[in-house]
Amino acid sequence: MVVKKQLAVMGSALALASAALPAMAGNTGLAFVHGTGKQTDAATDYWTHEMINSVRQGLPNQNLMIVINCDFDQYMWTAGAAGCLADQLHPFIVNNNITDLVVETHSNGGNILRWVMSNPTQDSRYPAIINAIRWVNALAPSSLGTPLADATISGNAFESAVGWLLGYKSDAVRQQQTSWMASYNASWLYGTAGRPALPKPFYHVVGTDVDSSLFDGDSYCGGYHLNVGLEVTQAWLNSCSDGFLDCSSQAGAGLRWFQDKERTAEAEPLSHNQSRRQCFGLDVILRNDI
Amino acid sequence: MNLKLSMMAAALAAACSSASAVELLPKQAGDLEPALVAAAKPATQAAKAGAPGQSRDAVALSWASTDAGMAAATPHLAESRESYTIVTGAELAKGVPLHTTAPRAVVRVQAFDMSSPRSNLAIHPQSMTVIDKAGRAHGSAEAMEALVTDDKLAKADLPFAPGTSAFRLHQGLGAGQFKLRADNLGENERFLINVVEPDSPVSLTMQAGAAAYLHGQQLSLTSELRSKDGAKPAWSKLEGYVMSPAGRRFPLTFKNGAGGRMTAQLALDADEELAPGLWEVHAHGQGKARQGDVMRSLRLAFPVAMPTAKLDRKVALADSSGGVKVNFGVEAAQAGRYEVRGVLYGTVQGVLKPIGVAHAAQWMEAGSGSIALNFAPELRAAATGPYEIRELFLLDQGRMGVLQRQQRALVIDERELARSSPRPEKLAPAAPQRTKGS
């Protein structure tokens, strides 16, 4: 018991000491963190191999890459969400001596990463993960939630008012309601306006529009049907949105990297589904960032 | 066992001869502080799925942060430009009212019946009719734009429930009161009608009096019907209730307040089986604006915690090899994983500025204990005293409770700090972070 406690204290002291140290000579790694949903093969089903294989070309050693597969239908703080992320990311960092980790997150994946970085004492593995991170590229993060989450939960809430009775499948959506994210941003999460900075840079990439014209080939990148749905859901959102999130939500935490049209090929917008796919040169932008 | 631990703690305290006492500043308006501590009821098996993982390891971390804000804990202002109504198939056959205050409202129709697959009950927008103020019936071709069937929404991988379709009222119809009609539905089938008016100047707002509450405290709510056009919409009614995470419902009574606002109060009873998530206000308001009748529905989330622990106001500086280490006394009503976090401010060129953030969490049994917040020495490199610890939080990590929050918590004099943790002769600043511009 005493030994265990001493080890814990040592761990704590180590974490404290190393937090401010520069990255020692080690390896550069790359991690992809998906958004809401339970993924078992996110490389195929969420990101696509074309996207991943293009981005990883920026790595000195292309093998030092991990695609996270977790159940992000759960609340961000659960063992199945942030805990699962640590289950996969921590051994990847330790076993490969990663000291310079670039993390690409999409949508709610940004919230899960922000949870880990804002709550480093929840799990003894979190400080090591934070120390290894160079920066997070948060692609269309739902940092301030989305009115669409409110709308979808409202439909279900009438049937069963008790959230958890609906099952955890809806928990991530519930958590991304605007007033829920406002509450968590005010006390548990960092990086939003008026709150302390995150321990490592969290750069957001903002999708500003949805193009779903049948006659425009650009609508087909990422899947035409996906974009048709998103164009309609824009009605719930502000004039600047990617079809699922207002631009203000995507830009609500961390540091500005770019808005889609500033960097994409032919200044094409990135819809919410396109910001995780090989669309309009996004993969090359991410590759060159490593 | 407990006695042994207490003796060890006493011996440790005596050994720390360099520790010196400082005082927690008095509570200010907007701070959250439990009056007493009380144990929370355990979670049901079903609710445990949403709980955080609970490690027994003590973990601490600090990092440089020079842009920590000093924003007060402003409660979120919820704003709605939409309404929800539940109707039956029989009502839809007669026509149900759609109140709009701006052109191009979005109408979402969701089948509710649980007795059969809801996707089978979805109403195709093309089979719906919109009736205008003059009683003229318009088919989908002239009344609707941007139709989405339930299968398209499903293909878009959106989280709408199966059996949901949507359309946007055609610009040419303008605003006002319409009726939505659909035939060939089961009389008792239920449907949710969600009318969203993104372009409406009229909204319903609601704000709680605090960003976080504790069991036994009084929730105060203020609600307003606002219009961007400067006119003041008149209330017809506002009703609602509060729903706890475990599913208990508390009715709200709204009263007329100052400036045309409506207010409600509720004594919060959070002594219930633990369930993950937030408390929610569900409210439905009706009123009359310059544009016509207005209907708005709104939900507002806020946290309520059982006061499972509190800072006992015993605070002491301790040696940390040149850093700033503060032991905070904690009184816990029950065992759990508790966390203290805060922002350290230091004097930089005569101005008090944020210089770092520290967190510390550990498992504590019921009773008295302490948690040490340790800001690494390098955070002091560019600053001198006086220092302040602000944004001090006590959190119940395992039960996701915000137990205590103090905006200004502690003032630490340089000489006082030097007695417990002398400034090293050579103090290198924290290594700068790599950024995209560097």
- Asked if A179 and B300 touch (Cβ cutoff 8 Å), the reply is yes
Residue A159 lies inside a defined structural domain of this protein: yes
Last residue of a domain, one of B146, B169, B196: B196
Number of structural domains chain A divides into = 1
Same domain, B406 and B328: yes
* Cβ-defined contact of A228 to B434 (cutoff 8 Å): no
Residue B431 lies inside a defined structural domain of this protein: no
Same domain, B278 and B381: no
pLDDT at B187: 87
Interval B173-193: pLDDT, tens: 999 999 999 988 888 888 889
Phi-psi region of B184 (alpha: psi -120 to 50; beta: other; left: phi over 0): left
* Digitized pLDDT (tens) for each residue of chain B, 438 residues in all: 343 434 344 444 444 444 566 889 999 999 999 999 999 988 876 667 777 877 889 999 999 987 655 566 789 999 999 999 989 999 999 999 999 999 999 998 888 765 554 545 677 777 889 999 889 999 877 888 866 766 666 665 566 777 778 888 999 999 999 999 998 888 888 888 999 998 899 999 999 999 999 999 999 999 999 999 888 899 999 999 999 999 999 999 999 999 889 999 999 999 999 899 999 999 999 999 998 999 999 999 999 999 999 999 999 999 888 899 999 999 999 999 999 999 999 999 999 999 999 999 999 999 999 999 999 999 998 899 999 999 999 999 999 999 999 999 999 999 999 988 888 888 888 778 889 976
Residue B117 lies inside a defined structural domain of this protein: yes
Tell whether the torsion through CA atoms of B269, B273, B274 and B276 is positive or negative.
Answer: negative
Closest partner residue to A180 among B62, B71, B278, by Cβ?
B278
Closest partner residue to B433 among A155, A201, A228, by Cβ?
A201
Residue A21 lies inside a defined structural domain of this protein: no
Helices (H) and strands (E) in chain B, counts: 6, 31
Same domain, B96 and B146: yes
pLDDT at A14: 37
Write out the H or E segment, with its range, that includes residue B418: helix B414-420
CA B308 to chain centre: 20
* Cβ-defined contact of B435 to A149 (cutoff 8 Å): no
pLDDT at B19: 54
Give the distance from residue A15's alpha carbon to the nearest chain B alpha carbon, in angstroms: 6
Q: 56-75 in A: which are within 8 Å (CB) of B?
A: 74-75
Interval B74-107: pLDDT, tens: 899 999 999 999 899 999 999 999 999 999 999 9
Identify the CATH number of the domain in which residue A71 sits.
3.40.50.1820
Closest partner residue to A236 among B196, B249, B303, by Cβ?
B196
Same domain, B312 and B300: no
Mutate to test the interface with A, among B8, B157, B399, B405 (most CBs of A within 10 A): B157
Residue B259 lies inside a defined structural domain of this protein: yes
Closest partner residue to A179 among B212, B299, B400, by Cβ?
B299
Q: What is the DSSP string of chain A?
A: -HHHHHHHHHHHHHHHHHHTSPPPS-EEEEEEE--SSB-S-HIIIII-HHHHHHHGGGSSSTT-EEE---BTTS-TTBIIIIIHHHHHHHHHHHHTTEEEEEEEEETHHHHHHHHHHH-TTSSTTHHHHHHHEEEEEEES--TT--HHHHHHHHHHHTT---GGGG-GGGHHHHHTSHHHHHHHHHHT--SBTTSPPPSS-EEEEE-------TT-GGGGTT-HHHHHHHHHHGGGS-SSB-SSSBHHHHTSBSEEEEEHHHHSGGG----TTGGGSS-TTHHHHHHHH-
Identify the CATH number of the domain in which residue B184 sits.
2.60.120.1370
Range of the domain at B181: 82-196
Mutate to test the interface with B, among A135, A187, A190, A275 (most CBs of B within 10 A): A187
Give the distance from residue A275's alpha carbon to the nearest chain B alpha carbon, in angstroms: 14
pLDDT at B41: 86
Q: 178-237 in A: which are within 8 Å (CB) of B?
A: 178-180, 182-183, 186-188, 190, 193-197, 199-201, 203, 225-233, 235-237
Same domain, B293 and B205: yes
Give the distance from residue B153's alpha carbon to the nearest chain A alpha carbon, in angstroms: 5
Q: 224-263 in B: which are within 8 Å (CB) of A?
A: 243, 245-247, 249
Number of structural domains chain B divides into = 3
pLDDT at B18: 47
Residue tagged 């509710």 (tokens): B112
**How many residue pairs bridge chain A and chain B with CB atoms within 8 Å of each other?**
275
Write out the H or E segment, with its range, that includes residue B19: none
- Could you give the CA distance from residue B303 to residue B279 in angstroms, rounded to a whole number? 6
- Asked if A38 and A110 touch (Cβ cutoff 8 Å), the reply is no
pLDDT at A223: 63
Pairing of strands B41-43, B273-274: parallel
Mutate to test the interface with A, among B8, B77, B109, B359 (most CBs of A within 10 A): B359
Q: What is the DSSP string of B21-75?
A: EEEPPPP-TT-B--SS--PPEEEPTGGGGGSBP---S-EEEEEE-S-------PP
Same domain, B205 and B294: yes
Give the distance from residue A138's alpha carbon to the nearest chain B alpha carbon, in angstroms: 14
Tell whether the torsion through CA atoms of A274, A275, A277 and A279 is positive or negative.
Answer: positive
pLDDT at B9: 41
- Could you give the CA distance from residue B107 to residue B144 in angstroms, rounded to a whole number? 10
Range of the domain at A190: 27-289
Interval B102-123: pLDDT, tens: 999 999 888 876 555 454 567 7
- C-alpha distances (whole Å) from A147 to each of A140, A144, A152 are 15, 10, 9
Residue A1 lies inside a defined structural domain of this protein: no
* Cβ-defined contact of B400 to A8 (cutoff 8 Å): no
Cβ partners under 8 Å of residue A188, min gap 6: A77, A115, A118, A119, B395, B400, B402
- C-alpha distances (whole Å) from A286 to each of A197, A289, B59, B60, B346 are 23, 5, 33, 33, 38
pLDDT at A222: 65
pLDDT at A9: 35
Residue A256 lies inside a defined structural domain of this protein: yes
- Asked if B286 and B177 touch (Cβ cutoff 8 Å), the reply is no
- Asked if A250 and A143 touch (Cβ cutoff 8 Å), the reply is yes
* Cβ-defined contact of B245 to A177 (cutoff 8 Å): no
pTM, whole model, 2 decimals? Answer: 0.90
Same domain, B131 and B153: yes
* Cβ-defined contact of A83 to B53 (cutoff 8 Å): yes
Same domain, B127 and B156: yes
- Could you give the CA distance from residue B99 to residue B178 in angstroms, rounded to a whole number? 7
- Could you give the CA distance from residue A223 to residue A220 in angstroms, rounded to a whole number? 5
Same domain, B311 and B277: no
Low-confidence residues in chain A, pLDDT < 70: 1-24, 155-169, 212-220, 222-232
Same domain, B219 and B325: no
- Asked if A206 and A247 touch (Cβ cutoff 8 Å), the reply is yes
B372 touches chain A (CB under 8 A): no
Same domain, B351 and B325: yes
Residue B50 lies inside a defined structural domain of this protein: yes
- Could you give the CA distance from residue A188 to residue A180 in angstroms, rounded to a whole number? 11
Residue A205 lies inside a defined structural domain of this protein: yes
Mutate to test the interface with A, among B67, B100, B158, B396 (most CBs of A within 10 A): B158
Chain B residues in contact with A255 (beta carbon < 8 A): 435-436
Residue B165 lies inside a defined structural domain of this protein: yes
Provide the token pair at A157.
């809430």
Same domain, B226 and B249: yes
Identify the CATH number of the domain in which residue B227 sits.
2.60.40.1930
